[in-house]
Structure 1
Amino acid sequence: MTEENNLLKKNLERIKEDLDDLQRYVDDLTMFLPLAFCTVNPLNLILGVNQSFQTLTGYDEMESIGNSIDFLFLEKSKVQELKEEMPVQKDSIQKEFVLLKKNNEKVPVSVSTLARRDNNDNFLGYFLVITDISETKEFQKKLEERVSEKTKELEIKNVEVTESRLALLNILEDVEDAWKKAEEEKNKTMAIITNFTDGLMVFDRDNVVRLINPKIEKFFYISSEEVINKSLNELKDSKNMLPLIESLSESSLFQNGNGSTDQFRAELVNKDNLTLDISEVSIINEDEKIGSLVVVHDITREKMIEAMKSEFVSIAAHQLRTPLSAIKWTMRILLDGDLGELNEDQKGLVEKTYSSNERMISLINDLLNVTRIEEGRYLYQLELSHIEDIAVPLIESYKTEIKRRGIKFNINIPKKKTPKIATDVGKITLVIQNFIENAMKYTNQGGVMELNISYNKEKDEIEVSVKDSGVGIPKDQHGRVFTKFFRAKNIIKMETEGSGLGLFICKNIVEAHKGRVWFESEEGVGSTFYFSLPVRSQEEFDDFLKKL
């Protein structure tokens, strides 16, 4: 009897180890998936939702649980079709719906569902996936509680094992039930991954591929057998995977080792001419990086829409520029007195009209430049130049206006000319002009502006900065500064002019020169905008031109 009890005890320990392994496996699979989903019973009533579901829909858990899924979507007839299909459907279902958020916002979503059945194939309800898989966190918590509960029961039963063989058998039955449930949950998680509409790749801490889903296979024409258990370097031998691997190799997540928790985004085009958005994040467990998650999203349709919008803006801008130019010259003729002298009131009115028309022309030019940048038609006429030859004449043209505004202007330029850089003089002039005008507009009377030019010998680059003591930029808006149509919320009321396109254009100009652009700002203190351009010899300049 003692040997049999010992054997049963060993089996119990083995099963507990299996349970722990299963739990860790489920933990690793569920903790990082960005899905929003809910559990629905056979009556189509929501039994549970995750945080991503709440974030996406705007409804909290109490507002969602117990409600029919009808209230989530606009197309009630399609929802009815889904409810009728689920009891008889064994495979997953994918449909498109319009989500009705709590704030009445309508959002198009892709919905995936998977039926739940017992061993006798009885329909127990289904999972409904909208985005994100944060629901797995809720599942993880419940699973941990369940495993903890069963573990405690097992420990109690283990104490009693010497007293009764029957008690030990009961414990084994409980463990078996828990193991089956854990296996079921693992299968559910794998079903979610398999049916996820984006491609997923999971790398371990050594940058070895541990998991891919069918979408990755479809996007890159590879099978899981060709990829699983291969390192990032080994995958470079795969022709189909090479564009993706080259993009990932540039990521700091792979370059910086296990300590990096950065995020990385890139775009590439696959063999089917699909534009794919590549995003990558670290998988963190207890403050330690245990791997990396790569999500591949098809943005072909979004890119087509963006191109159509750019084309529309370009056409509209061209159509507007002609009449605006005619208005400009008409106003100029009136102001010059070619049609007769104007009295003071008439002249003031015409000058205001002329000024407003100039702002409209400037806005149209900005829109056209943005369109050219997005379409790759913003051409550059490069030459080797000294930055001082570009900046000094421009600075002189602004001194009078800056003085009129009562702003102190400090200029720091090296006495000896800095090394030459490859520049399109007109476009780099536009960058410096934008920096100066922004500083001038947002610095009050009595404030200070400062322009600095320096040569960074260590980095072998020329750095230009414009500093002001103006209103600064709110910290929560720093990430949007170089995006299209950005205007800080604290200056919209004080300065109505401006298209919000200047810094976006500046960033693209500098980066096209293989330079860097950045800024430092504190609200109420001021801002400093920088850009740097690499120094180039004549030979380096010739090579640079060949690569353009």
Structure 2
Amino acid sequence: MRFRTLLFFISAAAVTIPCLVMGWFQYTAVEREFAEDDRTRAEISLLVSERLEAKVDNAVSLVTAAAEILKSEEGVPTEKLNQILEELRKASPDILNMHFDNPSAVSMAFSPQKNKHGESNIGVSHKERSHWQNPHVLDGLSVSSLVQAVGASDRKIVNITKPVYSNGRFVGLAVAALDLEQIAAQVLKGFATDAYQIGIFGRNGEVIFSSGKSVPLHNLTIEERTHRSFTFSNAEYYGYVRPLAVTDWSVGVFSRTVDRKAVLVQLFIRNVFVWLATFLTAIVIGFLASISVVRAVEKLTRQMTAARILPDKSERIKSPRELVQLQRTYGRMQERLITAQNRLKELNFSLEEKVKKQVQTIQRHEALLTSLFSDMKEGIVLFNEKLEMRFCNPSAVRLLNLSEEEAKKRFLALVKEMHQSRDKHLFIQSQGFDLELRMFESGAKDVFCVFVRDATSELQIDRLKDELIGIAAHELKTPLAGVRMAAECLSKTVQDPESKETAAELLESADEMKSMISRWLDVAKLQTGSYEIHPEFCLIKPMIRKALKHFSGFKDFECSLEISPDAAAANVDKQAFMQIVQNLLSNAYKYRKEGGVCRVKIQTRKSGDFLELKVEDEGIGLPESAIDKIFDRFYQVRMDPARKIGGTGLGLYITKELVLLHKGKITVASTLGEGTVFTLELPALPTETEKGKDE
């Protein structure tokens, strides 16, 4: 957005918002004035009504008192009645005259007794007067509308009439004439009658009194004048009318009409003109003020486009001060930027030279390694983290005896298989040869190397060695039985303690030799696949206790059992299971802490369709490097050269193979210096095949 456009919007906002706020305040002020005017009319109407009601109520009270006197003083002389009326009239200056009329409508007492012409007011017939139009009113009291007095006065009056009855007989009328102009003058005292016109209306809407002539009350319709407690307006005036409680009169407060809608429209138009004038003034002032800013920005833009550190004569900014400072700051930044760019060019050139040398070195090393790998008799295959083949030397293809494409597919399948295995080690046969494959990972696991070699001769040697061990074990069993029998006879027949000890040692050595031969035979059977097991559903606790009898004489051996009720039986071969437990206990005893007690804990729990057996010891533990080899044949952990640990290294190998024969699983976890935990999973229930055989 351009600067002047932005300035236009800012000026519009700066002018519009205050004008809107000012207009709103003016509008609310006018509305408050209108509301205040209505409230004032209502208050004036209320006060006038209350004062007028008080005056009329006082007059009604005096008339009622006069009626009671006439009733009680029936038959008294006229002079006394005149005196009573005179006293009552003096009690209220608003009463112009009071008189008693007999049933014939002739005045029999009057105050004042004479009119302004000196004529007597007593004995005058009032039959045609307004207060005799309806003498027998139902509610006992009537207030007339405005009438012209005749005889006693020539002023306009309002008559308050009270009929008098004695024992059901009509006695006459008690009448009081009110001077309405005098009452109105007293009632309206203190009100601003120049701003508001006050009117009093009779029962038929006639104007009884008006405080002025600014509003022609005679033009009001009957409905308007008799409307009760209502604010109304027409084309000429506003008004508020309310009734009186003691009479059927109404009091109205009126003022000249003010066109409120026109006032609001004029206010709106005036504010629009003010806003427009202010806005145009702000735009002009802003435009004049922006000229110097725009020119300064254009100069700075030309300098920045040319990337000059110092501006030329036509680009030098003189005002405003902030842009002068900005131009200086830009010059310093541009100078530092040029220096940094030059330095960056030098670094890039140096880096390019180093990268070029490094690439050349890598290329030489790659050529050397390629030459080395190509000349190796062993196969080398490299894969990336996505298991995509990146290199394969000729020996790897030759060992598989396949075409290059077929060899790549074969290696891809083998590396996926080894990638999922734990030991990353595999033996395969190809064209009558035994090949060994090992996979190695880089530290970042982004390169996988598969090493392939011909292991045919080594495996043949292993098979010959296994055959030799099996033959030797079979051949040694017969002479070993004779040696053991001779040792038993010797221990029973000799009496010399030294000879007995020698016979016992010979017997112990024969038992150890027998155990070793048994292990060799088991290994041979496991290697050839001739080892057979006969699983049956049985309790495991008795078998564990039977295996523990071998250690019953060892004082430095302790074992605790925690057999879960839902894991108390398993589908296993009894002899094989006892051999598994005995091998694990023997391993724990051999690798106990030197000079300490061997503590072993055996736990069982149900895990799906399998029984989970844990054998945990507190021995010396295993290093991480030994965990992957612990189940290999003839492997023994050697941590302390000074400590001699016996055995052949076949116990855990046999244990693993027996577990696998049960279609189970065995894992090991160890912490060096704290102990080792072997976890076995064995079938808890007979398989479907075994159930079919039993049936």
Matched, 1:526 2:679: no
1:380 is aligned to 532
| Residue 455 of structure 2: aligned partner | 299
Distance 1:178 1:415 in 2: 68
2:521 paired residue among 368, 372, 392: 368
Q: Partner amino acid for 1:456?
A: S
Mapped partners of 2:691, 2:414: distance in 1: 27
1:401 partnered with 2:553: yes
Matching residue within 386, 400, 407 for 1:220: 400
Identify which of structures 1 and 2 has the higher relative contact order when contacts are C-alpha pairs closer than 8 Å and 6+ apart. Answer: 1
> Under a length normalisation based on structure 2, what TM-score does the superposition of the two structures give?
0.44
- Give the aligned partner of residue 507 of structure 1: 656
The correspondence of residues 464-543 of structure 1 with structure 2, limited to 5 A, is: 464-473=613-622, 477-489=626-638, 497-539=646-688, 541=690
Structure-to-structure mapping, 1:437-448, within 5 angstroms: 437-440=586-589, 443=592, 448=599
> What is aligned with 2:349?
155
SS of match in other structure, 1:531: strand
For 1:369 and 1:539, the matched residues in 2 are separated by: 28
**Letter of the aligned partner of 2:510 in structure 1?**
N
Deviation sequence 1:34-85 (CA, Å, 0-9, x none): xxxxxxxxxxxxxxxxxxxxxxxxxxxxxxxxxxxxxxxxxxxxxxxxxxxx
Picking from 205, 208, 233, the partner of 2:385 is 205
- Give SS of 2:424's match: strand
SS at 2:448 equivalent: strand
Superposition deviation, residue 274 in structure 1: 1.0
Tell me how far 1:327 sits from its aligned partner. 0.6
Residue 274, structure 1, aligned to residue 433, structure 2: yes
SS of the counterpart of 1:279? strand
Which is worse superposed, 496-505 or 430-439? 496-505
Q: CA deviation at 1:430?
A: 0.6
Take 2:627 and 2:649, find their aligned partners in 1: how far apart are those partners?
Answer: 14
Aligned counterparts, 1:9-408, within 5 A: 155=349, 186-226=366-406, 235=409, 241=410, 246-252=413-419, 264-270=424-430, 272-283=431-442, 287=444, 289-337=445-493, 342-373=495-526, 375-386=527-538, 388=540, 391-395=543-547, 397-398=549-550, 400-402=552-554, 405=555, 407-408=557-558
Q: Distance in 2 between matches of 1:399 and 1:185?
A: 61
Query: Aligned equivalents of 2:645 and 2:401: distance in 1?
Result: 52
Q: Deviations over 1:129-156 (max 9, x none)?
A: xxxxxxxxxxxxxxxxxxxxxx999937
Q: Which amino acid aligns with 1:332?
A: E
Q: Which amino acid aligns with 2:517?
A: I
- The question of whether the paired residues in 2 share the 8 Å contact of 1:420 and 1:536 is answered with yes
Specify the code of the residue in structure 1 equivalent to 2:607: N
User: In the alignment, residue 475 of structure 2 is paired with which amino acid?
Assistant: Q
Change in 2 beyond 3 A, CA 1:194/1:391: same
Distance 1:353 1:540 in 2: 47
* 8 Å contact from structure 2 (residues 424, 438) kept in 1: yes
Identify the residue that residue 563 of structure 2 maps to in structure 1: 413
Tell me the percent identity.
20
In structure 2, C-alpha distance between the alignment counterparts of 1:180 and 1:471, rounded to whole Å: 52
> Post-superposition shift, 1:212?
2.2
- Structure 2 letter corresponding to 1:448: R
Taking a change above 3 Å as real, the CA distance of residues 541 and 212 of structure 1, as seen in their structure-2 partners, is farther
Distance 2:374 2:487 in 1: 66
Structure 2 counterpart of 1:426, one-letter code = Q
Distance in 2, Cα, partners of 1:348 & 1:391:
33
Residue aligned with 2:663, SS: coil
Distance 2:626 2:362 in 1: 44
Match of 2:603 among 442, 449, 452: 452
Tell me, in whole angstroms, the C-alpha distance in 1 between the residues paired with 2:395 and 2:689: 43
Give the direction of change, closer, same or farther, for the CA distance of 1:248–1:428 in structure 2 (3 Å limit): farther
TM-score, length-scaled by structure 1: 0.54
Structure 2 stretches lacking a partner, 5+ long: 1-344
CA distance in 1: counterparts of 2:508 and 2:546, whole angstroms: 21
Larger Rg, first or second structure (1 or 2): 2
Q: Deviations over 1:189-227 (max 9, x none)?
A: 433332222223333333333332222322334333456
Between the aligned partners of 2:369 and 2:640, the Cα distance in structure 1 is 48
| Number of the residue aligned with 1:97 | none
| 1:269 shift after superposition | 0.6
Number of equivalenced pairs:
347
**Matched position secondary structure for 1:498:** coil
**Separation of aligned partners in 2, 1:281 and 1:203:** 10
What displacement does 1:416 show?
3.9
Q: Cα 1:206–1:387, aligned 2, differ >3 Å: closer, same or farther?
A: farther
d(CA) in 1 for partners of 2:427, 2:351: 56
Give distance in 2, aligned partners of 1:280 and 1:370: 27
Q: Which residue in the other structure is 1:12 paired with? A: none
